[in-house]
Structure 1
């Protein structure tokens, strides 16, 4: 009897479920500004996992919903989360239209790869800044460094208008790893131009890690990483073809630029090719013409991708950047009377990558990559009418990387891999003495190579879901450096006759090799103190093995002589960073304080009026802070600001380190003017810098104003058009960039600059 009752109850419950009356919701999700449909928007019921995502028309349908009041939650990257209360009725479909409002401030949803795999910035504990393609185009820069200079903690170093690089929290040049699509740019030089051989208009985004990152990227990342991601093609369900044309002009140097990009693809392939050409005359400053600051360059880049099998992806990329007649008006190595230039500069890179997704249940990614990058640098120096110097160098770098990504359970993401790269350097110099009709061949750096092999592992753990995350990483590197014998002079040509065994020939460097084995580690903590407040902590041990130029250089350029030291010790660093992040729909603030202890820091030690020798500074300390904030104070109007400070000290000699940027920052307002125009007015400021090293000059503080006006996309006959006009240094103010001043003879920055740019998308 009891068994019959149980069976009857089961049948009744089943029947109730079968004949239960439910309803459904069907709707569309649109951008509230453009009124266009949004694809792949997540639409869920309340806090449950019941829901779906929108299709290419922005439409969605959710079936079998119990009748009654429900709350729909729509979320999409770059848009404010929206909740809508809806009444679901039995056997009826409720129609709804959801308007998502785009964020006008950054809330940390940008996807980046600085941690070796794709994550949103807000999920990364390390201090990281990013600038995207649309931001670069809105304020067209001359070089990558110009585009980065407004990021907090990042400062511009200038040896010319074309020749620039950056300082990150007081460290620069060889203490920063520069990557283009994950591939190292290796070209040691005393002249700032490491970031000049990249087309800023071909960049999708730039990620800047502010702090030690050797456990991820190996030797050199004591100060941080600049990771430049090039524009790429894309796979698409339907066949597509498109492109863009960009043309621009700058009044300050009569500079013109043009760019053409074409792309096509479908579900299983894509192809993209682009080319840029630029030219500029001497730059005008408030104090007159900056002589020898002209440049001409061009860039070609191409990418093709294919999906040969399900979950398999193949990609090949090629870039060739070429510059000629580039003036170098600054540069500490050159005498004030010298005329220096790059007659030719060339960077050529080839990259092939193969990726397999979900090869194993727990292996989400397996990727293998090879790259080759060649950099040719040709320099011409005329210290006086009787002498001409021509330093030349060829840098050839080959690299390979194997990486695996593992998802272990729901809360453990592990990345492990191995990378290896080798840089080969062939450096030479000719010295022409015109009165004697004589050419002397020299080797400022011996033929040498630098090889690095490293194994890395990075583990992301979610200890408490959505509350506490920990990142632990480690790396071991083996570095080998070899060099051949180097003699000076290598040869002498007198009256057209060459002598390969000239008198007074001396051996500068004997053939030899050196090995370094270094270990590095990092830990990062991300704690969600409240729904919109995160606290971060980072600590890292880092290292840098001295490069070839630092070990072997013998550079004599008239104004100064620079000597290397084969016995330099690897630099070692211990880095700490504490941060807070507050994210509201209309307000964000990010602040960090940092402390960086460095041992055996390699610097050009001032010995006499014209002699600098590479030396390890016993102990150094850098500390400071950087701060960012955005406030959406009215509709789509935003005030944004940043502030940064760093102090560098040689703690053994009790003196200041060289090339430390002063307190600096900006405050700006960005606002729409009608539905077609967006305006941006900024004030960049810098305090005076009197914490200087021996041989440096103190610089005064300044405020500089800039204005930019960009249109939204204006469609004519199916073709999108965007215009940009701007004025930089509005009041034509004469001011000095501390780092530029102390790198050479540039005493004043560019004057008032009217800029114009037109972009057509088809």
Structure 2
């Protein structure tokens, strides 16, 4: 096993194809990567920078190219995503190891950062709560801003929404700086409807590393400012208009690395954003959110009687979480002002560890984690809980070309502060929290197969099953507001497969398929499960030319959750052509939704149609 030091910083290893061509494989190795269970590494997925056909609005546009990942929610700039049917607070999103917790009901995402600043991406699929804690029941999206030593200026313009993107990135030795600016008007759908998707955003990065007497100290700061961010939904513009007038984020951390295989870090995420919703002839509301996420981590590699082991301590604290809701309600031609304020805090301390050993040809991993949590609020009694979770993994080489992996793990998710305590108007409607919610728990298992059939062909497949207790479900009451309840039991099962074929030194094909099912204790289908999808991507390389050609065919969705709508089958065709003009400059033309297909991004009942065909022209210059 690699030592812990190899996991402290991101890397971009080079993979040589069967025909000798060097292909850069994007990989991020987060500090806790060395603690992931063995077969979870076999069922991980990495973002590939060769897929340059996405609209590049948020990181969700890139994640959708991975098997086992789908979109959920209403769409637009705050597009959220699901891993194997787990969404909302059930998956963990990290940027440079900092957990992103925004208290948005649709789920946490990294939409406030320009995708051009997130150079590396890694999705862990499988039962991960035993190592990452609450909000990682379904997996982890780990993003990194690390980059190779270079200076790059890039820019693009896009039809349809007149989108403009500009970025500057510089890394030399121990200093990194970057800046990105994005601006777009509202998109149009293929049938001519206008989407409320306009936005303007600026984000940046400063990182500095220094070494002294065997220690490495890394300081980093990642700020972001956005304004006039539209919120899409089916009620726009006739019934409702929602937007985010202003959004501020600041991520900072300091990390200390020693020579004796250990790492220590402290981090801080400050956020302050407003949400405005006007429901014509009903109400006009404004919600203001602010909060601090503080945390730290210690990670140590040890050798216990010849067994490679790791242990660590996590501290996650959320201070000053404040949501103020003010709205005017129309009542018999009069405006009645109403308001509500949520003030809350949350603390989470955890110790965890993992050990690895080999017996014959079989590799085993065993992990344990204990979490202690406490939530405090002015409007409720303190809530505390403790949870012990475990994971076990085995990887058996059936032959020189076939590996079989088994994962079993328990997990949990504590109700979020907004699920328990929030009361107010949102773009979804009136939300009323439920202080009596119990934590969700799960027992997950997965069986994975990796087969290197030849130098040209590799096959990956995985089947998985989760049993969940106290599943937290959002529902609409008879009075018309939204709240949450615990379902006694739910289950999710699924299958995913991927085939990679290096047909020649010029052609590479990637085919993938995914499907899943899930129901609660009343045999009702769960929300946010991804529909059946078949994808084919062809990558072509000739001298200074590269072509990315991708088809995604989503089958009919005639079985949906309680807050979802049935959808017809659709096929999305994306294509991009890149030309290396010089050793330093490339030019790319990308066409998204080439056939101008009319389709929805998710099954959500409030999801809007996706944008019409768009063309993006971009260039990048390295110095």
| TM-score, shorter chain, exceeding 0.5 | yes
Aligned-partner Cα distance in 2 for 1:139–1:380: 29
Match 1:678 to one of 531, 539, 546: 546
Rounded Cα–Cα distance in structure 2 between residues aligned with 1:354 and 1:757: 38
Residue by residue, what CA displacement relative to the aligned partner does 1:682-727 show, whole Å, maximum 9, x if unpaired?
1111011121233431111111111111234722xxxx00111111
Q: Check if 1:442 corresponds to 2:336.
A: no
Q: Name the counterpart of 2:534.
A: 665
Distance 1:470 1:667, change over 3 A: same
Matched residue of 1:585: which SS? coil
The Cα of 1:163 is off from its aligned counterpart by 1.4
* 1:323 and 2:238 matched: no
Residue aligning to 1:43: none
2:431 aligned with 1:431, yes or no? no
- Take 1:468 and 1:115, find their aligned partners in 2: how far apart are those partners? 23
Compute the displacement of 1:426 (Å). Answer: 0.7
Instruction: Say which SS state the counterpart of residue 78 (structure 1) adopts.
Output: strand
Distance (whole Å) between structure 2 residues aligned to residue 353 and residue 558 of structure 1: 38
The equivalences for 1:673-752 within 5 A come to 674-712=542-580, 714-715=582-583, 720-739=584-603, 741-742=604-605, 744-746=606-608, 748-752=609-613
User: Could you list the per-position Cα deviations for residues 255-299 of structure 1 after superposition, in whole angstroms to 9, with x for gaps in the alignment?
Assistant: 00101122222xxxx111110001001102111132321111110
Aligned to 2:165: 257
- Tell me, what secondary structure is at the counterpart of 1:738? coil
2:245 corresponds to: 343
Partner of 1:635: 505
C-alpha separation in 2, matches of 1:342 and 1:585 = 51
- How far apart are residue 190 of structure 1 and its match? 2.4
Once the two structures are TM-superposed, the CA of residue 145 in structure 1 deviates from its matched residue by 0.8
Note the C-alpha offset of 1:438: 6.5
Partners of 1:166 and 1:294 lie apart in 2 by 20
Does the 8 A contact of 2:271 with 2:292 survive in 1?
yes
Is the Cα–Cα contact under 8 Å of residues 160 and 327 in structure 1 kept in the other structure? no
With the length of structure 1 as denominator, give the TM-score of the two structures: 0.76
- Are the equivalent residues in 2 in contact too, given 1:233–1:304 (CA < 8 A)? no
Decide whether the 8 Å contact of 2:470 with 2:486 is kept in 1: yes
- SS of corresponding position for 1:656: coil
CA distance in 2, matches of 1:200, 1:110: 16
For the pair 1:414 / 2:309, whether they are aligned, the reply is yes
C-alpha change, 1:416 and 1:588, in structure 2 (3 Å) is same
Secondary structure at the aligned position of 2:61 is classed as: helix
**Change over 3 Å in CA distance of 1:437–1:655 after alignment to 2:** closer
Q: Does 1:761 align with 2:608?
A: no
1:114-133 equivalence runs, <5 A: 116-117=33-34, 125=41, 127-132=43-48
Greater RCO between the two (CA within 8 Å, min separation 6)? 2
Q: Which has the larger radius of gyration?
A: 1
TM-fit CA distance, 1:732: 0.7
Distance, in Å, in 1 between the alignment partners of 2:23 and 2:549 is 16
Q: 1:232–1:303: 8 Å Cα contact kept in structure 2?
A: no
1:279-678 matches, cutoff 5 A: 279-310=183-214, 312-330=215-233, 337-358=239-260, 365-384=261-280, 387-408=283-304, 412-424=307-319, 425-432=321-328, 439-443=337-341, 446-464=342-360, 467-485=361-379, 511-557=380-426, 560-583=429-452, 584-608=454-478, 610-650=480-520, 652-672=521-541, 674-678=542-546
Q: For residues 734 and 421 of structure 1, do their structure 2 counterparts lie closer, same or farther at Cα, with a shift above 3 Å needed?
A: same
1:182 matches 2:86: no
Would you say the 8 A contact 1:305–1:315 is kept in 2? yes
Report the alpha carbon displacement of residue 232 of structure 1 after superposing the two structures with TM. 4.6
Rounded to whole Å, the distance in 1 between the matches of 2:596 and 2:259 is 54
Shift in Å, 1:607: 2.6
Number of paired residues? 607
Give how far 1:606 is off.
3.1
Segments of structure 2 that go 5 or more residues without pairing to the other structure are 1-12
Q: Secondary structure at the match of 1:550?
A: helix
Kindly state the Cα deviation for residue 582 of structure 1 after the two structures are TM-superposed: 1.2
Shift of the 335–455 alpha-carbon distance from structure 1 to 2, 3 Å rule, reads farther
The change in CA–CA distance for 1:663 and 1:471 in structure 2 (over 3 A counts) is same
Q: Which residue of 2 aligns with 1:217?
A: 132
2:21 alignment counterpart: 102
Rounded Cα–Cα distance in structure 2 between residues aligned with 1:631 and 1:136: 16
- The question of whether the paired residues in 1 share the 8 Å contact of 2:94 and 2:100 is answered with yes
Distance (Å, rounded) in 2 between the aligned partners of 1:160 and 1:80: 37
Instruction: Report the CA distance shift for 1:243/1:205 in structure 2 as closer, same or farther (over 3 A).
Output: same
Residues 1:272 and 2:176 are matched in the alignment: yes
Does the aligned pair in 1 maintain the 2:492–2:518 contact within 8 Å?
yes
| Equivalences for residues 27-106 of structure 1 within 5 A | 77-79=14-16, 101-102=20-21
Identify if the C-alpha distance between structure 1 residues 671 and 335 changes in structure 2 by more than 3 Å, giving closer, same or farther.
closer
TM-score (norm 2): 0.92
After TM superposition, give the deviation of residue 126 of structure 1 in Å: 5.2
Q: CA deviation at 1:210?
A: 1.2
1:186 Cα deviation from its structure 2 partner: 1.0
Can you list the C-alpha shifts for 1:87-107, whole angstroms capped at 9, x where unaligned? Answer: xxxxxxxxxxxxx9235597x
What's the offset of the Cα at 1:200? 1.1
What is the match of residue 56 of structure 2?
141
Q: What does residue range 228-267 of structure 1 map to in structure 2 within 5 Å?
A: 228-232=143-147, 242-265=150-173
Cα distance in 2 for residues equivalent to 1:451 and 1:145? 29
Aligned positions of 1:19-34 closer than 5 A = none
Residue 521 (structure 1) shift? 0.8
- Stretches (4+) displaced over 6 A: none
What is the SS of the residue equivalent to 1:737?
A: coil
**Cα displacement string for residues 337-388 of structure 1 (whole angstroms, at most 9, x for unaligned residues):** 1110000111101100000023xxxxxx111100010111201111126842
